[in-house]
Amino acid sequence: MRATSFPFALETVCIDTLDFDAVCVRLGLEVSRVRVITGQTWSKEVALVLASRVRGRRVEVLDDIDNTLAQHRSLAESNEGDASDVLVVGVGGGCVLDLAKYHACRLGAPYLAVPTIISNDGIASPIAILRGDDDQMASHSTTPPLATLIDRGVLERAPHAALVSGIGDVLSNRAAVLDWDLAIERGRATPNALARIMSRSAVQNVLGAPPNLRDDIFFERYIDAIVLSGLAMYISGDSRPCSGAEHLIAHAINRARPGRFAHGLLVGSIAPFVVWLHDRGDRSLWSLVRTLGLQVDFMRLVGATHDFASLMNAARRIRGDRFTVLDISSNEELEREYHRFVSAFSARQKRVGDASPHAAIS
């Protein structure tokens, strides 16, 4: 997954009037087949319009899909002909794009991403999260798309919760970089200055601006942030710049309560606590988290499956090789800090008089 070049394009398009051939020419693609992978609802409508814009190439639209490794195998079996002669286009949200990205990479085919909803940092990242044969979700290394096509009219139709989730995933970079710094200091990770700058810049892009996709300035900053996050992982060769203890805890919660919470909502909710563990009460982060309505007292989301200590133990087991702030504190210390953090956060919320944010997660 280590980068040797930047074969990545970001294009703003209108799918309704898309000149697909012109896109192929710009990207240097000479393929006779286009394989469109999509969902079954709104994304399928967009995919069918996109398919209608393809001229002189065979197009197939595959919509009966799920995000499993088994699905990829079945798609690979149904692919007729040379993989270098087919372009894979993912049209949809995170699950669809992850499958399309993984499928294209394993097939050895070029890949275009057309997001219809952006709820995490996956549109330009080299990571695909798929359900394995053991029924567990796992991250897989792939290559990022050759290009991501952004249709603002399409993205503006996505529910607000998707935007909150996408911002949450970006915010988690702040915690991830602190964990990365700590791991480097302890000789447990290698530095990458460019990836670190990109990850931190992504967070700066979404802080301080009202989260509204209809706002021109915010829209641009948001897309840039999501792309910066994805490419930071590509540059570093792993997910380190965007995934620290907050991701480990989120994965542990998701394993305990599968399918219950969107990824970005969860990691964005947990990130302020991880930042706090690094001795930082981050006002700008807290302010945006409050505006978004993220639930920083994340133990309320866990239910009866875990107490605090068992959740931390489960989080540490998610990726044994990922050294984070969880590895330098006992469960008792972490729990004490959690309660201190939640009290400090609520006290500040009362002080600034913003006691009724939109509840993004419950």
Residues of this chain that interact with Zn ion (CB under 5 A) are 169
Phi and psi angles of residue 245, each rounded to the nearest 5 degrees, phi first: -60, -35
Q: How far is the CB of 243 from Zn ion (least distance, A)?
A: 6
Q: How far is the CB of 120 from Zn ion (least distance, A)?
A: 5
Please say which residue, 15 or 289, places its beta carbon nearer to Zn ion.
Answer: 289
Please say which residue, 110 or 115, places its beta carbon nearer to Zn ion.
Answer: 115
Are 164 and 265 in contact by the 8 Å Cβ rule? The answer is: yes
Please say which residue, 75 or 127, places its beta carbon nearer to Zn ion.
Answer: 127
Are 29 and 9 in contact by the 8 Å Cβ rule? The answer is: no
Q: How far is the CB of 51 from Zn ion (least distance, A)?
A: 30
Q: How far is the CB of 226 from Zn ion (least distance, A)?
A: 11
What residues have CB less than 8 Å from 107, skipping those under 6 apart?
76, 79, 83, 86, 88
Q: How far is the CB of 169 from Zn ion (least distance, A)?
A: 4
Helix/strand/coil for 45 = helix
Helix/strand/coil for 177 = helix
Position of minimal CB gap to Zn ion: 169
Please say which residue, 145 or 230, places its beta carbon nearer to Zn ion.
Answer: 230
Q: How far is the CB of 168 from Zn ion (least distance, A)?
A: 9
Count the neighbouring beta carbons within 10 Å of the beta carbon of residue 241: 28
Please say which residue, 169 or 238, places its beta carbon nearer to Zn ion.
Answer: 169
Encoded tokens for 37: 């992978």
Are 168 and 225 in contact by the 8 Å Cβ rule? The answer is: no
Count the neighbouring beta carbons within 10 Å of the beta carbon of residue 62: 18
Please say which residue, 142 or 349, places its beta carbon nearer to Zn ion.
Answer: 142
Burial class (CB in 10 A: 0-12, 13-18, 19+), 281: middle
